[in-house]
Amino acid sequence: MIIDGKAISAATRGDIKAQVDELKKQGVTPGLAVIIVGDDPASRVYVNNKKKACAELGMLSEEYALPADTTEEALLTLIDTLNGREDIDGILCQLPLPRHLDEKRVINAISAEKDVDAFHPVNVGKIMIGDYSFLPCTPAGVMELIRRSNIDVAGKHCVVIGRSNIVGKPMAMLMLHANATVTICHSRTQNLKEICRTADIIVAAVGKAYFVTADMVKEGAVVIDVGMNRNAEGKLCGDVDYDEVSKVASAITPVPGGVGPMTITMLMQNTVTAAKQRRK
């Protein structure tokens, strides 16, 4: 089974649109503010896609494009202003930031109830104990793909390759909350191939093209590819050798068109959730 992220994203957005329409009947339009500092091309693409998604779903979208030499104080002042605005439910500061800005300080400055990326320590702690309002968008997207593909996670062995704060660690926690038995692997893991071959579900989030090969995957495993890389020809590809692994996996996500479309969709859901919670 090829897990079609575009189709599942479209279905999920249909559900989100219904929630937005319902809120609008109550006089509430969910609002997202996106801050981008500097002119990183990949960040610009993401920000544009977020604006399009807001427009498609009838949500308020504001963009703050700041020059690369913006001071930390100026950025923190803007965040403070947005924290206090009643019409803004979600605040997102596009990462990575220019080197002179303290990423940790910036993330901590965003109000936890408007932190729709779920990077604030309060939200990270809530995910840890399973009492969360928002989930980081990519791991949330992976769980939605699995749910809508009727893949049962409970009791299965899930191997997460990668330990980033954005994908690997929260992905492991969400799998644990769904009653999977979880192994986290990373660059220092020994016997990686042998560990992966015991997995019922593999989530690859290492950022290395074609890292997961067919000899690392047991027959019938589910393979979720979070990677977004460029190969030698400059084409988009994932962390998984799709052509070969798809011959042994029972279900697999393609790149592009797998996990990617879900990330912004889950950001929209987080913003709607924030709008509901802030107004109870």
Q: How far apart are the first and last CA of the chain?
A: 40
Q: Residue 85 in 3-state DSSP? A: coil
- 229 near 237, Cβ under 8 Å? yes
Which segments of 37-136 does DSSP mark as H helices, in order? 41-57, 72-84, 103-109, 121-129
| Residue with the two structure tokens 């191939």 | 193
User: What single-letter amino acid sits at 138?
Assistant: T
Q: Is 31 left (phi over 0), alpha (psi -120 to 50) or beta?
A: beta
| Residue with the two structure tokens 């996106």 | 34
| Residue with the two structure tokens 């019938």 | 220
Q: Residue 128 in 3-state DSSP? A: helix
SS3 content of the chain, % helix, strand, coil (to 5): 45, 15, 40
DSSP conformation class of 98: P
CA distance 49 to 26: 27
CB contact set of 202 (below 8 Å; sequence gap of 6+): 158, 159, 161, 196, 212, 216, 217, 221, 222, 223, 224
- 17 near 74, Cβ under 8 Å? no
Active site amino acids: 50, 94, 117
**Token digits for 97?**
């930031």
